């Protein structure tokens, strides 16, 4: 079993829909990261959080430390949101080393 | 501020050769981490350098090595290349602080193909 599990693996939505991607982890962490990867490979850090909730434009990330679970929400989705979304954790004992989930391929159709 | 840069962006090598990849972090960032991304294994941590010292290492064979220079630029080297080393190699830089975790800023990656 992977230390970081994401669901779903693939997600197709219509423009304007509300989207949720989930991430569960099994290790003690110092922080959880949500990353976005577009075709071609470049990775962008969307959020880094260790508690509560963060919002950036149409993106919202939440984390429940007790349940070891995080969600990434996209409101009013747009075709330009199509990308792979990756959950990663910094383990308590590993400093800045990241352990990654397998990613969620999101496709938003116009 | 310029982002993380990696050179070269694309590389084709043959089995048995060695390769050196370069990463220049964001100005002021002193920590550089390297990651390998393959379709089969996903993203995996290779190693992290801070102040010219390897601070953390992933589960990769000794053929994978790295170093960091005094200006924080980092290189990674893979010797005796195997077909399975074909991957996207990403580096990420961050401002290391000891009281909380650090956001990492990723470079565009070097796509290595081993024939």
- Per-residue model confidence as pLDDT tens digits over A50-98: 899 999 999 999 999 999 999 999 999 999 999 999 999 988 777 678 9
Spatial distance between the Cα atoms of B4 and A14, rounded to a whole number of angstroms: 34
| Residue B31 contacts A, CB cutoff 8 Å | yes
Q: Contact at 8 Å (CB) between B37 and B88?
A: yes
3-state secondary structure of A54: strand
Q: Tens of pLDDT along chain B (115 residues)? A: 679 999 999 999 999 999 999 999 999 888 899 999 998 899 999 999 988 999 889 999 999 999 999 999 999 999 999 999 999 999 999 886 654 557 889 999 999 999 9
| Residue B43 contacts A, CB cutoff 8 Å | yes
CB interface of B with A, residues 67-106, below 8 Å? 88, 90, 92, 94, 96, 100-106
Rounded to a whole number, what is the distance in Å from the CA of A21 to chain B's nearest CA? Answer: 18
| Residue A95 contacts B, CB cutoff 8 Å | yes
């Amino acid at each position: 079993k992977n230390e970081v599990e994401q669901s779903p693996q693939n997600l197709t939505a219509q423009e304007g829909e509300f989207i949720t991607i989930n991430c569960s982890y099994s290790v003690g962490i110092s922080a959880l990261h949500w990353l976005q990867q577009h075709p071609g490979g470049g990775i962008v850090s969307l959020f880094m959080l260790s508690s509560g909730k963060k919002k950036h434009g149409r993106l919202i990330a939440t984390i429940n430390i007790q349940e070891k679970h995080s969600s990434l929400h996209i409101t009013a989705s747009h075709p330009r949101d199509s990308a792979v979304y990756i959950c990663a954790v910094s383990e308590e004992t590993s400093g800045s080393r990241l352990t990654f989930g397998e990613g969620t391929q999101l496709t938003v159709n116009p | 501020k310029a982002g993380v840069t990696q050179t070269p962006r694309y590389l084709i090598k043959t089995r048995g050769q060695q390769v050196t990849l370069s990463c220049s972090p964001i100005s002021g960032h002193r920590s550089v981490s390297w990651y390998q991304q393959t379709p089969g294994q996903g993203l995996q941590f290779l190693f992290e350098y801070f102040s010219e010292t390897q601070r953390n290492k992933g589960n990769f064979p000794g053929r994978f090595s790295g170093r960091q220079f005094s200006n924080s630029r980092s290189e990674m080297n893979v010797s005796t290349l195997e077909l399975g080393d074909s991957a996207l190699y990403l580096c990420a830089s961050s401002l290391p602080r000891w009281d909380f975790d650090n956001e990492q800023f990723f470079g565009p990656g070097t796509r290595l193909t081993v024939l």
